[in-house]
Amino acid sequence: MHASQMAQLITILEKASISWPVPAVTGVARNGASPFQILVATLISLRTRDAVTGNACHKLFQHASSPRQMLALGSPRIARLIHPASFSPTKAKRLVDISHILLEKHEAAVPDTMEALLLLPGVGRKTANLVLVEAFGKPGLCVDTHVHRISNRLGLVTTCSAEHTETVLRTTVPQQYWKPYSELLAVFGQKICTPRSPLCSDCPAASLCNTWDIRKNKAIPGKS
């Protein structure tokens, strides 16, 4: 696939995604969450299934939806509220640490720049990009493991890391497609283009994929 075919890919995936669930953080944002809640949801979502993330956020936000309220809860109670999200004690401590920083250095507001977000504990480029996109409506490429894997399978990149994938995509994919591409692939990678045994024969985008040989109607050996 070539980057010039991005509009075609987005159209195909948007039609297919009608029956797919909305990514957890996107769902939180669409429900009118504040930038702080979106940041919290993004951190909880790391290495955690969307259904678990959604439930954890719902429970936590009933008790705390601001940095000051988060500090009042304390990390042990936060950990209990967001369980069974993965690494809940570690995430709870980070939420407390971040709340301290936001109160002390940002007047309780979430910063809206990549540079400032990356200074927060536990915030990497994927998290920062997602916050910029969902909380502030800024352009961002959220490259998680699914976006990294599928971008390589499609032939859009030939990279060994998510950060390298983001760098290449930023130079080849028009900015208008960054958000839908990241959002759609996050679920597409769970439903169809899975890490192991991808459902290539059921893939709506197979005709655009470098890993799929339409003529032979089978995956090309060595390109999974």
Residue 20, CA atoms < 13 Å, CB-side half-sphere: 20
Angle at alpha carbon of residue 111, lines to 108 and 112, rounded to 5°: 145
DSSP result, 28-49? HHHTT--HHHHHHHHHHHTTS-
Look at the chain and count its residues. Answer: 224
List the one residue out of 101, 40, 108 whose CA is nearest residue 68: 108
Separation of alpha carbons 99 and 214, rounded Å: 52
| Catalytic machinery residues | 126, 144
Separation of alpha carbons 10 and 136, rounded Å: 22
Tokens of 184: 């759609």
Q: Are 82 and 59 in contact (CB under 8 A)?
A: yes
User: Which residues, at least 6 apart from 20, have a Cβ–Cβ distance to it below 8 Å?
Assistant: 187, 188, 191
